[in-house]
Amino acid sequence: MRTTPVPLKSGMKLKKELHSAALFTAIIFCCSGFTGRWPLPQGKLYGLWQYSAIYKNGKNIITPSKEDTMLLDARKSAFHYHIKTLNKSFSGAFQTISSPLDSSPFQTSLWFQYSPSKGIRRFHIMALSDDSLVIREGNTTFHYSRRNP
């Protein structure tokens, strides 16, 4: 059995076909809704959370008490946190913001707008499951466990 060699296409024709294939692939990813990140399971974000640790520069800076909590109220888009150990208690409005350049797995930030107007803080959502939440602001990481009311 004799095989006939297939003639190579000219460089210009091959380049055009590769360009078309790349364009087709880009269109498929765009239209499929692929974002390259994990979807944030927002229903899991809301509720009452208890601080389990706060790390600054890799060192745990508190031994939390049962009174150290954070509430994320979905109906009111409101937050309230109380850290008795550090004598801090604040509240205000919150929202989740898509941050495509964010280094977190969800590429989503949690923004707290303090009231009265004490500014806005942005936290990167690093981990979220049914019973745990980890957020990061700069070199400080906040670890929570879900607390049933």
Distance between CA atoms of residues 8 and 13, nearest Å: 10
Question: What integer is the mean pLDDT of 47-66?
Answer: 95
- Is 12 within the bounds of a domain? no
- Is 15 within the bounds of a domain? no
Q: What is the pLDDT of residues 61-117, one digit of tens each?
A: 999 999 999 999 999 999 999 999 899 999 999 999 887 776 678 788 899 999 987
Question: pTM (2 decimals)?
Answer: 0.70
Tokens of 82: 């109380």
Q: What is the pLDDT of residues 123-133, one digit of tens each?
A: 999 999 999 99
- Is 21 within the bounds of a domain? no
pLDDT at 44: 87
Nearest C-alpha neighbor of 61 from the set 145, 143, 149? 143
Residue 105 and residue 134 in contact, taking contact as beta carbons nearer than 8 Å: no
pLDDT at 57: 96
Asked if residue 25 has pLDDT above 80, the reply is no
pLDDT at 13: 55
Question: What integer is the mean pLDDT of 119-141?
Answer: 94
Which one-letter DSSP state was computed for residue 40? P
Which of 20 and 143 is assigned the larger pLDDT? 143
Distance between CA atoms of residues 104 and 127, nearest Å: 8
Tokens of 45: 């974000």
CATH of the domain at 91: 2.40.128.280
- Is 72 within the bounds of a domain? yes
Residue 125 and residue 143 in contact, taking contact as beta carbons nearer than 8 Å: no
Report the length, in residues, of the chain: 149
Number of domains into which the chain is organized: 1
In order of 10, 44, 121, 124, 132, the CA distances from 128 in angstroms are 53, 7, 19, 11, 6
Q: What is the domain extent for residue 131?
A: 42-146
Q: What is the pLDDT of residues 29-46, one digit of tens each?
A: 343 343 444 566 667 899
Residue 92 and residue 113 in contact, taking contact as beta carbons nearer than 8 Å: yes
pLDDT at 30: 40
- Is 134 within the bounds of a domain? yes
- Is 52 within the bounds of a domain? yes
